[in-house]
Every structure is written in C-alpha cells, then in structure tokens.
Amino acid sequence: MSQGLAALRGLRSAPDLDAAARAGLRAELQPLLARCDWFTVGVMAPSAEAAVLCLRQLETALGWAPLQLDPAGEALQTIEGPVFLKGNQTTRRFLVRRETGLGVGLLITGHSPADPDVEDTWGPLPLDLFAGAGAPPTASL
C-alpha cells in the first residue's frame, strides 16, 4: 500500500508507519497546509490525554497558537476511555467528548474562503505524526 495522503482516505484508523513514511507524509502535507488560511482538527484517540497531546504536538510543529479548552465542555480529567477532540482555529477553542466505536488518528481540514479549491481534509494521520523536537513531552490537561 502506498503511504501517501491519498492512501489514507477512507481508512478507519491511521496505519502504523516507519520514520521514512512519516517524513514523506509531513513533506506531502506541508505545501497543502500552506495554501489554507485556517484549520479545524479532529483527533480520534484512546484517551483525552492522548488527544490533547496530539493537538499540542501539531500546534508546536506547525507554529500554531495553542487552542484553549472550551469552558462549555466537560473537564478533561473526568473523561475516561476513547474520545473525539474537535479543534477550530477561528474560535481558538477545542472540545473533547467521549466517543466509542471510532478509529484512531488525526484529521486536519484546511479552509480558505478566498480559494475553496485548496480546501480538503487529510487523514487519518498517526497521532504522533508531529511528535519530535520542540513538541511537549506530556499533554497539559
């Protein structure tokens, strides 16, 4: 199976990838993200901590301002089991909800009102695709 972005479409969960395939995905994704004005993020994860860690690694790697937990949502420490995190750069907030039956992975949707042709959703990407230098070692709940 090809490990490019197109091969991920329709998968339930992100595949396990070696370092070279991960680097290839990041390289393929970078110019696509650069064409967009803002982003929404979805994280399907086994726990709230894992979902927030994925979000923080993404923000760090791409130089995005950190999103804040929406005060209308449930306290992260009270959420057990699989979750779905939804983040939105225009609202600068994210929510985490309990969600069973999902796969595991990161979804990034790029938005560009000025050029809708560049808008797309990419993933599911591995939760740790953006882990690395400068990424926080633990999620700050």
CB 121 within 8 A of CB 107: yes
Show pLDDT as tens, one digit a residue, over the chain (141 residues).
456 999 999 899 999 999 999 999 999 999 999 999 999 999 999 999 999 999 999 999 999 999 999 999 989 999 999 999 999 999 999 999 999 999 999 999 999 999 999 999 999 999 999 997 344 444 444
Instruction: Assess if CATH 3.40.50.300 describes domain 5-125.
Output: no
Model confidence, pTM: 0.90
